[in-house]
Amino acid sequence: MRGRSHARTHATVPRPPLRTTPRRYALKLNNAILAAPEHVPLYAELVDKFPVEYIAGGATQNTVRVAQWMSGTPGFAAYIGSIGADAFGAQLKAAAERDGVTTYYYTADAPTGTCAVLVHEKERSLVANLAAAEKYAKSHYDSQPIQAVVDGARVVYSAGFFLTHASETMVAMGKAVAAARGAKVYAMNLSAPFLCAFFKEQMHAVLPYADFVFGNESEAAAFAEANGFAGASVADVALRIAALPKASGARARAVVITQGADATVIAVDGAVTTVAVPPLTSAQIVDTNGAGDAFVGGFLAFFAKGATLVECAKAGHWSAAHVLGQSGCKFDSAAKYTA
């Protein structure tokens, strides 16, 4: 499995006293924003005042880390992304490789992207400074070493955030997978409602190459609104995305939409299957950050093993539940899923 997209360190502050920091920086719980100039001092303040934990982050990298863990196979997953020539870049590389992921980073002329994750009573506030993460050069993707990585992959995945600055690389990746005539699959994620609304053209340039499309109910609703069928049910949105034109006829597109505690919807070949989510108590949930990324990681790891789509969804539910019990997108490497 190979991953593409942003590379960021996530600086996670477990349950900080949010009485002062969010007010000073006008942050809100259960929210995510891009860092503005006034947020830059936040990162140093967190390091100075709170016990910070560094996690190799970014939506795609989270998924690839979880897929490596869930696979149980050394050398299963690799990640291609962009970092800076700085201490955060070194920390990110070391953290990803501790999780068993082989990394192929492009070193950009910018600081390594960081995302401050402040958690208070199970709710989080994210402040992302993309920096090097949005400086990925397509020339790196086109280079022989990276092409060899893509050639050797069976599953290629990217979160939708890459649409904001390098959709042409996603298209190139999709074309390479389509040329394999079913020997490989390309998976992408809707990732955020704003992408469906404001990067519609880029998204539709990539969708023809997607064998799998992942998303959640909020993203499905945003996609429906942006594409002229607002108010459609999650199942109908999934069916419509599955039926969009496809560059390769080697396999039908599968669309997988999660709905939190409600059943996951899978649409493929004009049919919808729902897979119940095992219930969790409030006490079992520490932090919701990264649960969606973890679901996709578990799903794709088991798809690569030859599991059915329902089995893949169940594996994804388990990996997501495990991450929900952690602070940040991390996992107990000794924990094993048995179908």
Residue 256 forms part of a structural domain: yes
Q: Are strands 185-189 and 155-158 parallel, antiparallel or unpaired?
A: parallel
Give the length of the chain.
339
Number of Cβ atoms within 10 Å of the Cβ of 307:
16
> Could you tell me the CATH number of the domain that includes residue 302?
3.40.1190.20
The three-point CA angle 101-125-49 to 5° equals 85
Q: Give phi and psi for 285, each to the nearest 5.
A: -100, 120
- Which stretch of 88-97, 118-127, 135-144 has the lowest confidence by average pLDDT? 118-127
Q: What is the pLDDT of residues 243-252, one digit of tens each?
A: 999 999 999 9
Residue 264: inside a domain, yes or no? yes
Domain membership of residue 127 (yes or no) is no
User: Is the C-alpha dihedral spanning 185, 300, 197, 328 positive or negative?
Assistant: negative
pTM: 0.90
Burial track 27-45 (b if 16+ CB lie within 10 A, e otherwise): beeeeeeebeeebeebbee
Residue 27 lies in a domain: no
Classify residue 34: in a domain, yes or no.
Answer: no
Q: How many domains, in total, are found in the chain? A: 1
Q: Give the tens place of pLDDT for each residue, 43-70.
A: 888 888 888 877 878 899 999 999 999 9
Catalytic residues: 293
- DSSP state string for 15-74: S--TTTHHHHHT--SSEEEEPPGGGHHHHHHHHHHS--EEEEESHHHHHHHHHHHHHT-T
Residue 145's domain comprises: 58-112+132-324
Asked if the structure places residue 21 within a domain, the reply is no
Residue 241 domain-assigned (yes or no): yes
Q: Is residue 24 part of a domain?
A: no
Question: What tokens appear for 105 in the block?
Answer: 């980073």
What are the φ and ψ backbone dihedral angles of 326, each rounded to 5 degrees? -115, 165
DSSP-based helix, strand, coil % in the chain, nearest 5: 45, 25, 35
6-30 average pLDDT score: 55
DSSP 8-state symbol, 143: S
pLDDT tens-digit readout, 77-120: 999 999 999 998 998 999 999 999 999 999 999 999 988 888 77
Question: In this predicted model, what pLDDT tens digit does every residue of 254-263 receive, in sequence order?
Answer: 999 999 999 9
Q: How confident is the model at residue 28 (pLDDT cuts 50, 70, 90)?
A: confident
Q: Percent of the chain beyond pLDDT 90?
A: 70
